[in-house]
C-alpha cells in the first residue's frame, strides 16, 4: 500500500506521496518574489537549494497555512516547499482518484479524510 | 621506435582533429560544404588511430566518415551533435594520454554517437554525452561537475556566514578558518578549470565562415586572430559563438568594400578583419574589427530622425544599430540587411551578463567590443535594498553610484532622466518596477548591452562573489530576475536582470 506524508493546512489534511518528500522544516528561511502568482509566498532556502514556497491555503481558498512548517518536495515539476500548520507524519493509504483542482485522490484515515496533492498541478497553478 | 614513443605525436594530431570538429560544427551552420571538412577530419583520425591500434576510435571514425559521405545537407541537430562528439573525443584523448591505452569505456562513451550516425538521428545526444576527465583519467559527467560546483558554492555561502562571525572566535579557530578559506578558493579554481576551454579551438570554424562569405561576396579578406590561448568557461564560449559569426558577417557584408572600391579609396585590395581576444582580470574582451567603410553617421542620423522624430547623440545613434529590426541597408542579401544581426549579438551578450560597445570612423572601419565574464559560475554581485527587500545586481553592470541629491533629475513629459554634461540617462524606479515602496535615494548608473541607464534604489550594500542559480521552470516567466543566490545569512536573494530593467525604463521612468 502506498505511503504518504500527511500535514494540515487549515481545516484540510493534505497528503503527498512519500517518494516526493525531501523533508519537513520548521520556519523556513524565505524571501518574497515580486510578481509571483497568489499562493506563491516566495522562494526559500532548503539546504543551499532555492525552491518556491507555496501557501496551499491561498490556492484552496481556505484559512491557513502561514506555517510554521514547510514540506519540501521534489517531483517532475521540480522542487517546491508547501507551508503547513502542523505535521501528522507518515501513513499508508489507498487513494480513490478524484478530478478536483490540485488533488489527484483522497483516502480515509482514522482521524478524517486525506487529500492527495498533485504536485504537477500545484506547479502549473503557481507558474509565472 | 615503438608505438608508445609515437603517442605524443598521435595525441597532438588527434587533438587538432578533434578541436577541428568543434570548429567545423560552427561553420556547418553557415556552410554545408564544411561537411567535407568534417569527413576529412574523421578520415585522418581513423588512419592514425588504426595505426596506433586504437580500434574503437578507428571503427567509430569509419562509421562517421561513411555516414557523412551520404549526407546531402546538414541534418537537424548535427552541428550540436558534432560539438558534443568533439567534447567526448577530447575526453577520450585525455584518457589515452593518462593511461597510455584505449580505455574499455571508450566504446561505451562513443555508443550514443554511433547510434546517432547509424540511425541518422542527431537530436538528443548533445547533453547526455558531454563529459570531462580529471587528471587521473576518471570520467566525470558535465552534470556531475556542475553539481560539484554547486556544492562548492554552498560551502562558500557557509564560509561567508562564518566570516561574519570571526570576531567572536578564538585566534586559533580564526587562523584555521583562513586556511579553510584559502583551500576552498583553490578547490573552486581547480574544479572551475575543468570547464574552461581555449578560445583558439573555435578559430578554424570562424575562419571557414569568413573565407566562405568572402568568396560568395567577391571580396578579398585578410582574417587575423589573436588570443586563442585565453581560456574561458565553455558555456561563455559556446554562448557567444553565434554572435561572433554575426559580427564577422556584418564586417564582411557591410564593412569591407569590394577590392576595386578599396583600391580606388587608396586601400589595400584585401580588407583586414581582426578577431582579438584578451583577458582582463576575470573578464574576457573580444574585439571584432574591420578596416572597411565604417558607419555613415549622417545617414544614421537621418534614419533616426525619420524613425524616431528627434535628433540623437552619437552614443544613442550607435546604440540603434543593436535594436531588433533596425538596419541601414535597405536591400537584403543572403547574409544581412534584414535588421537582425547586431540585436542577436546584444541578446547573447546580455544573456551572459556582459556588455557590448561599438566604435566607428567613416571610411576607416568599425570595431565591436564584447566584454564578458570569464565564467558564468561565480558572479560578483552588488547588493541593493529596495523597500524592505534586498536584491542582487551583477557588479559588472554597475558603472557608478550617486546620491540622488547630488544629481540633476529632470522630468519632461512625465518621464525621469538623470542629466549629465554629455547626456540624459533614463531613470528607472526599481521600487515601481518591482511593486515595492521605495524612496530611491541612491542612484546606480547601470550598463546593459549597449545602453546606460539609472536605477533608483534605497541603499547600496557590500558586494560579494556568489553562484547565481536560475529560478527554475516554474518561474521562467519572471524576466526581471536572472536567478537567485543564498545570502550570507542564509536568506535567498533575487538577482535582477539589468536588461529587463532598461526595457522597463521607458514605461516606468
Q: pLDDT tens for residues B181-190? A: 888 888 887 8
- Give the C-alpha separation, B403 to B440, whole Å: 9
Tell me what pLDDT residue B328 has.
65
Q: Grid coordinates standing for B485?
A: 543566490
Q: Which residue has the higher pLDDT, B129 or B151?
A: B151
Query: B134 vs A102, which has greater pLDDT?
Result: A102
Nearest-by-Cβ selection for A44 from B151, B474, B492: B492
DSSP state of A116: E
pLDDT, residue B509, reads 40
Taking only the tens place, the pLDDT of each residue in B305-327 is: 888 777 788 888 888 888 776 76
Q: Is the pLDDT of residue B339 over 60?
A: no
Choosing among B148, B437, B466, B475, which should be mutated to test the A contact, i.e. which has the most A CBs within 10 A?
B475
Q: Which of B15, B19, B26 is nearest to B208 (CA)?
A: B26
**CA-to-CA distance for B197 and B483, rounded, in angstroms?**
25
In which element (H, E) is residue B390 found?
strand B389-394
Confirm or reject contact between A78 and chain B (CB < 8 A). Answer: yes
* Percentage with pLDDT > 70 across chain B: 89
How is the beta sheet containing B355-361 ordered, strand by strand?
B221-226, B271-280, B283-290, B365-373, B355-361
Q: Distance between CA B92 and CA A122 in Å, rounded? A: 44
- B452 is written with which cell numbers? 546606460
Q: Are B355 and B346 in contact (CB under 8 A)?
A: no
Mean pLDDT of B440-464: 86
Contact pairs from chain A to chain B, CB under 8 Å: 74
Q: Is the pLDDT of residue A3 over 50?
A: yes
A29 vs B contacts (CB less than 8 Å): 489-492
More reliable by pLDDT, B62 or A128: B62
Residue B163, min C-alpha distance to chain A (Å): 17
Distance (Å, whole) CA B495 – CA B197: 27
Q: Is A38 on the interface with B (CB under 8 A)?
A: no
- CA end-to-end span of chain B: 75
Cβ B240 vs Cβ B370: under 8 Å:
yes
pLDDT recorded at residue A118: 92
pLDDT category of residue B222 using cuts at 50, 70 and 90: very high
Name the more confident of B365 and B162: B365
Residue range B320-344: mean pLDDT, rounded: 61
> Are residues B366 and B294 in contact, defined by beta-carbon separation less than 8 angstroms?
yes
Longest Cα separation, chain B: 83
Q: d(Cα B104, Cα B69) in Å, to the nearest integer?
A: 28
Helix axes B55-69, B34-52, angle to 10 degrees: 160
Residues A70, A53 contacting (CB under 8 angstroms): yes
Q: Is A78 left (phi over 0), alpha (psi -120 to 50) or beta?
A: left
More confident residue, B107 or A86: A86
Q: Is B72 helix (H, G, I), strand (E, B) or coil?
A: coil
Verify whether the Cβ–Cβ distance A126 to B478 is below 8 Å. Answer: no
pLDDT given for residue A85 in this prediction? 93
Average pLDDT value for residue range B234-256? 86
Closest CA to B212 of B253, B260, B268: B253
Rounded to an integer, what distance in angstroms lies between the CA atom of residue B506 and that of residue B484? 26
B79, B94 contact by CB (below 8 A): no
Compare CB distances from B474 to A31, A44, A126 and report the shortest one's residue: A126
Given a contact cutoff of 8 angstroms between Cβ atoms, the answer to whether B48 and B62 are in contact is no
The runs of H, that is alpha helices, within B258-386 are 259-264, 297-308, 314-320, 342-351
Nearest to B356 by CA among B315, B325, B326, B299: B315
What pTM was estimated for this model as a whole?
A: 0.59
Is the pLDDT confidence value at B101 over 70?
A: yes
Higher confidence at residue B6 or residue A23?
Answer: A23
Q: Specify the 3-state DSSP secondary structure of A29.
A: coil
Least-confidence region, from B91-105, B127-141, B481-495: B127-141
DSSP B255-286: ISPPHHHHHHTTS-SSEEEEEEEEEETTEEEE
Q: Which residue has the higher pLDDT, B164 or B136?
A: B164
- Asked if B383 and B398 count as a contact pair (C-beta separation under 8 A), the reply is no
* Terminal-to-terminal C-alpha distance of chain A: 36
Assess B488–A contact: CB distance below 8 Å, yes or no: no
CB atoms under 10 Å from CB of A51, counted, come to 24
CB atoms within 10 A of CB B113: 21
Under a CB-based contact definition with an 8 Å cutoff, are residues A33 and A40 in contact? yes
Cβ A43–B492 below 8 Å, yes or no?
yes
- pLDDT category of residue B391 using cuts at 50, 70 and 90: very high
pLDDT at A71: 94
Chain A nearest-CA distance from B146, in A, is: 14
Nearest to B337 by CA among B253, B242, B214: B253
The answer to which of B98-112, B117-131, B194-208, B430-444 has the lowest mean pLDDT is: B117-131
Q: Given B472, B486, B493, which is nearest A48 (Cβ)?
A: B486
B38-53 as b/e: b if 16+ CB within 10 A? bbebbbbbbebbeebe
Is the previous residue joined to B103 through a cis bond, with omega within 30 degrees of 0?
no
Q: Please, which pLDDT band fits residue B397 given cuts at 50, 70 and 90?
A: confident
Measured CA to CA, the distance from residue B243 to residue B383 in angstroms comes to 30
Which residues lie closer than 8 Å to B161 by C-beta, 6 or more apart?
B488, B489, B490
pLDDT band at B177 (very low <50, low <70, confident <90, very high): confident
Distances (CA, A) of A21 to A69, A90, B421, B491: 14, 10, 59, 22
Contact B492/A30, CB-based, under 8 Å? yes
Which of B354, B432, B447, B431 is CA-nearest to residue B391?
B431
Q: What is the signed CA dihedral for B310, B315, B321, B324, rounded to 10 degrees?
A: -70
Amino acid at each position: 500500500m502506498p505511503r504518504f506524508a500527511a500535514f494540515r493546512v487549515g481545516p484540510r489534511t493534505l497528503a503527498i506521496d512519500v517518494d516526493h518528500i525531501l523533508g519537513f522544516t520548521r520556519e523556513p528561511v524565505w524571501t518574497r518574489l515580486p510578481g509571483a502568482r497568489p499562493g506563491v509566498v516566495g522562494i526559500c532556502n532548503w539546504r543551499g537549494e532555492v525552491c518556491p514556497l507555496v501557501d496551499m491555503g491561498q490556492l484552496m481558498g481556505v484559512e491557513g497555512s502561514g506555517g510554521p512548517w514547510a514540506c519540501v518536495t521534489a517531483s517532475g515539476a521540480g522542487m517546491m516547499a508547501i507551508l503547513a500548520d502542523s505535521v501528522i507524519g507518515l501513513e499508508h493509504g489507498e487513494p480513490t482518484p478524484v478530478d478536483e483542482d490540485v488533488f489527484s485522490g483522497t483516502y480515509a484515515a482514522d482521524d478524517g479524510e486525506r487529500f492527495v496533492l498533485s504536485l504537477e498541478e500545484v506547479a502549473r497553478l503557481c507558474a509565472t | 621506435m615503438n608505438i608508445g614513443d609515437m603517442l605524443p605525436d598521435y595525441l597532438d594530431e588527434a587533438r587538432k582533429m578533434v578541436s577541428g570538429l568543434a570548429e567545423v560544427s560552427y561553420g556547418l551552420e553557415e556552410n554545408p560544404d564544411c561537411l567535407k571538412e568534417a569527413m576529412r577530419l574523421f578520415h585522418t583520425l581513423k588512419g592514425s588511430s588504426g595505426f596506433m591500434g586504437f580500434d574503437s576510435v578507428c571503427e567509430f571514425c569509419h562509421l562517421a566518415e561513411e555516414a557523412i559521405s551520404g549526407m546531402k545537407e546538414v541534418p537537424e541537430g548535427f552541428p550540436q551533435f558534432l560539438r558534443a562528439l568533439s567534447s567526448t573525443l577530447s575526453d577520450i584523448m585525455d584518457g589515452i594520454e593518462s593511461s597510455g591505452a584505449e580505455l574499455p569505456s571508450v566504446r561505451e562513451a562513443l555508443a550514443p554517437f554511433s547510434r546517432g550516425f547509424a540511425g541518422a538521428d542527431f537530436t538528443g545526444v548533445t547533453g547526455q554525452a558531454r563529459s570531462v576527465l580529471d587528471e587521473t583519467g576518471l570520467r566525470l559527467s558535465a552534470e556531475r561537475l556542475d553539481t560539484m560546483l554547486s556544492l562548492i558554492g554552498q560551502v562558500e555561502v557557509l564560509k561567508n556566514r562564518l566570516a561574519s562571525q570571526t570576531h567572536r572566535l578564538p585566534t586559533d579557530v580564526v587562523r584555521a578558518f583562513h586556511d579553510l578559506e584559502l583551500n576552498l578558493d583553490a578547490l573552486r579554481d581547480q574544479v572551475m578549470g575543468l570547464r574552461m576551454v581555449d578560445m583558439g579551438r573555435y578559430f578554424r570554424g570562424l575562419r571557414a565562415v569568413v573565407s566562405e562569405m568572402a568568396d560568395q561576396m567577391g571580396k578579398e579578406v585578410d582574417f587575423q586572430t589573436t588570443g586563442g590561448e585565453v581560456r574561458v568557461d565553455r558555456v561563455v564560449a559556446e554562448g557567444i559563438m553565434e554572435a561572433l559569426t554575426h559580427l564577422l558577417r556584418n564586417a564582411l557584408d557591410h564593412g569591407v568594400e569590394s577590392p576595386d572600391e578599396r583600391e580606388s579609396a587608396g586601400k589595400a585590395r584585401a580588407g583586414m578583419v581582426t578577431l582579438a581576444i584578451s583577458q582582463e582580470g576575470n573578464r574576457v574582451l573580444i574585439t571584432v574589427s574591420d578596416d572597411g567603410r565604417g558607419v555613415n553617421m549622417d545617414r544614421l542620423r537621418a534614419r533616426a530622425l525619420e524613425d524616431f522624430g528627434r535628433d540623437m547623440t552619437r552614443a544613442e545613434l550607435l546604440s540603434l544599430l543593436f535594436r531588433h529590426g533596425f538596419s541601414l541597408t535597405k536591400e537584403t542579401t543572403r547574409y544581412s540587411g534584414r535588421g537582425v544581426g547586431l540585436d542577436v549579438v546584444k541578446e547573447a551578450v546580455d544573456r551572459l551578463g556582459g556588455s557590448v560597445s561599438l566604435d566607428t570612423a567613416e571610411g576607416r572601419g568599425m570595431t565591436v567590443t564584447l566584454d564578458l565574464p570569464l565564467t558564468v559560475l561565480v558572479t560578483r554581485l552588488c547588493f541593493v535594498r529596495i523597500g524592505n527587500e534586498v536584491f542582487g545586481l551583477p557588479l559588472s553592470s554597475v558603472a557608478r553610484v550617486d546620491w540622488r541629491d547630488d544629481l540633476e533629475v529632470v522630468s519632461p513629459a512625465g518621464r525621469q532622466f538623470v542629466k549629465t554634461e554629455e547626456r540624459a540617462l533614463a531613470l528607472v524606479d526599481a521600487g515601481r518596477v518591482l511593486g515595492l515602496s521605495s524612496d530611491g535615494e541612491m542612484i546606480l548608473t547601470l550598463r546593459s548591452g549597449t545602453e546606460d541607464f539609472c536605477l533608483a534604489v534605497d541603499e547600496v550594500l557590500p558586494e560579494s562573489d556568489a553562484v547565481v542559480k536560475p529560478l527554475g521552470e516554474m518561474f521562467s516567466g519572471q524576466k526581471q530576475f536572472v536567478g537567485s543566490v543564498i545570502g550570507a545569512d542564509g536568506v535567498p536573494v533575487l538577482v535582477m536582470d539589468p536588461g529587463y530593467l532598461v526595457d522597463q525604463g521607458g514605461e516606468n521612468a
